[in-house]
Amino acid sequence: MRLLVTGGAGFIGSNFILYWVKNHPNDQIINLDKLTYAGNLENLKSVENNPNYVFIRNDICNSQSVNSLIQQYRIETIVHFAAESHVDRSILDPAPFIKTNIEGTYVLLESALKNNVKRFHHISTDECFGSLPLGSKEKFNDQTAYDPHSPYSASKASSDHLVRAYHDTYGLPITISNCSNNFGPYQFPEKLIPLTITNIIEGKKVPVYGDGLYVRDWLYVEDHCRAIDLILQKGTIGKTYLIGGLSDDIDNIEIIKKIVKIMGKDESVIEYVKDRPGHDRRYAIDWTKIKQELGWRPQFDFDTYLQKTVEWYQNNQDWWRRLKHA
C-alpha cells in the first residue's frame, strides 16, 4: 500500500509513521508536513533512511503541490492528521485553524477525488461534540450531535462535515475517527501532561485552569495508532469510529497530582490560574462500536503509561528543551 500521511512530523502523526513502518514494513509512506512549530523531524530519525519512507515539506493548502504529489507517488490511501490543534492558540488567533483545518482538508478531498484515491481517513477529535456534565454517566458516541465551543473544535467539526459531504455527494471512500486526548512520547510541551512534566523538571510552577475539575478521556498514542490500522483494514466506508482510552473520569488536577507524585515533588508546585473561555467540563468516549465491529480495545492503562511518559520526558530533555525555548 502507498500511504500519504499529512502532518506526519507532529505528535500523533510521527507515532503513527513509526508504528506503521514497524508493522507494515513493505508499505510506502509519504509524509507531507509543513513543519510548523509543532512539527519535528527528530521524531522520525529512526526511519529517515528507510527506503519506503519519504518526507516532503509542503502545505496541505497548496492544491497544485498536493495534486502533483498524489499523482507522482500513486497514492492509494490518505491518512489526514495535519491540523492546528491547541485550543489556547485558537482562542488567541483562529485564522490558522480555519485555513489549515478547513481549507486544507478541502484541498486534500478535492485531490483525493480527482485522483481516485481508494481511502481517505480523517483524524478528528471528541471536542467536536462539546461538553458533558460532571458526574454524569453520559458518553460521546458516533450519533452524538456536534456542539463545538472553541475555534479549534469548530474548525475540526467543519472538516468532519466536509469529509462526510464528499462521501455522500461524490462517493469518495472515507472513514473518520474521533479520538480522545492522546498522551505519550513526542507530544509538544504546550499540552497538559508534557507541560506538567517539563515544568516540574525545570523547577517551574504547574498552571491549572480554574478549579482543575475538567475531565478528559485519555488515550495512549500507540493504542490510537492500532485503532487507525484496524479502521483502514476492516472499517466500513462512510462510517465514523470513536477511539477512547482506559481512563475513567480523571480530572486535570488529579492527573497533575499523579505526575507530581511520580516525580517525587509536593503539591506546592501547583498554581491555579484564570480559566480559559469556553472551557468544556467533561469529555468521555464510548468505544463500543469499534470494539464490536473491528475487535479493538485499548491495551495501555493510564497509570502505567503515565509513568512511562514521565520517564520518556525525563530521558529526552534535549528533545523538548529545544522546542520549549525556541
Q: Is residue 313 part of a domain?
A: no
**Which of 33, 59, 84, 127 is labelled catalytic?**
127
Mean pLDDT, residues 6-11 taken together: 97
Mean pLDDT, residues 306-314 taken together: 98
**CA distance to 65, 104, 154, 240, 297, per residue, from 107 (Å):** 10, 5, 18, 21, 33
Using pLDDT thresholds of 50, 70 and 90, give the confidence band for residue 275. Answer: confident
- Domains in the chain: how many in total? 1
What pLDDT score does 249 carry? 87
Q: Nearest 5 degrees, angle CA 133-CA 254-CA 135?
A: 20
**Which of 33, 84, 126, 160 is labelled catalytic?**
126
Q: Is residue 196 part of a domain?
A: no
Using pLDDT thresholds of 50, 70 and 90, give the confidence band for residue 205. Answer: very high
Using pLDDT thresholds of 50, 70 and 90, give the confidence band for residue 248. Answer: confident
Q: Is residue 250 part of a domain?
A: no
Q: Is residue 211 part of a domain?
A: no
Using pLDDT thresholds of 50, 70 and 90, give the confidence band for residue 6. Answer: very high
Q: Is residue 92 part of a domain?
A: yes
Q: What is the rounded CA–CA span in Å between residue 306 and residue 258?
A: 9
What pLDDT score does 246 carry? 86
Mean pLDDT, residues 164-171 taken together: 98
Whether residue 326 has pLDDT greater than 80: no
Mean pLDDT, residues 277-305 taken together: 94
Q: Is residue 257 part of a domain?
A: no
Q: Looking at the chain, how many residues does it have?
A: 326
Is 301 designated active site?
Answer: no
What pLDDT score does 3 carry? 98
Q: What is the rounded CA–CA span in Å between residue 182 and residue 313?
A: 15
Q: Is residue 154 part of a domain?
A: yes
Whether residue 15 has pLDDT greater than 90: yes
What pLDDT score does 54 carry? 98
> At residue 290, what is the residue type?
I
What pLDDT score does 292 carry? 97
Using pLDDT thresholds of 50, 70 and 90, give the confidence band for residue 88. Answer: confident
Whether residue 299 has pLDDT greater than 90: yes
Is 223 designated active site?
Answer: no
> At residue 321, what is the residue type?
R
Using pLDDT thresholds of 50, 70 and 90, give the confidence band for residue 165. Answer: very high
Mean pLDDT, residues 307-326 taken together: 94
| The residue to which cell 509513521 is assigned | 17
Contacting residues for 282 by C-beta, under 8 A, at least 6 apart:
131, 132, 133, 134, 136, 214, 215, 216, 249
Using pLDDT thresholds of 50, 70 and 90, give the confidence band for residue 247. Answer: confident
- 3-class secondary structure per residue, the chain: CEEEEECCCCHHHHHHHHHHHHHCCCCEEEEEECCCCCCCHHHHHHHCCCCCEEEEECCCCCHHHHHHHHHHCCCCEEEECCCCCCHHHHHHCCHHHHHHHHHHHHHHHHHHHHCCCCEEEEEEEHHHHCCCCCCCCCCECCCCCCCCCCHHHHHHHHHHHHHHHHHHHHCCCEEEEEECEEECCCCCCCCHHHHHHHHHHCCCCEEEECCCCCEECEEEHHHHHHHHHHHHHHCCCCCEEEECCCCCCEEHHHHHHHHHHHCCCCHHHEEEECCCCCCCCECCECCHHHHHHHCCCCCCCHHHHHHHHHHHHHHCHHHHHHHHCC
Is 126 designated active site?
Answer: yes
Q: Is 83 left (phi over 0), alpha (psi -120 to 50) or beta?
A: beta
What pLDDT score does 135 carry? 86
Mean pLDDT, residues 184-213 taken together: 96
- Neighbouring C-beta atoms of residue 183, cutoff 10 Å: 26
Q: What is the rounded CA–CA span in Å between residue 317 and residue 143?
A: 42
Mean pLDDT, residues 150-172 taken together: 97
Whether residue 18 has pLDDT greater than 90: yes
What pLDDT score does 276 carry? 86
First-to-last C-alpha distance (Å) of the chain: 37
What pLDDT score does 25 carry? 98
Q: Is residue 118 part of a domain?
A: yes
126-144 residue pLDDT tens? 999 999 999 888 999 999 9
What pLDDT score does 278 carry? 83
Q: Mean pLDDT score of the chain, rounded to an integer?
A: 96
> Can you give the CATH number for the domain in which 69 is found?
3.40.50.720
Domain limits for position 114: 2-188+219-245+284-300
**Which of 33, 84, 106, 152 is labelled catalytic?**
152
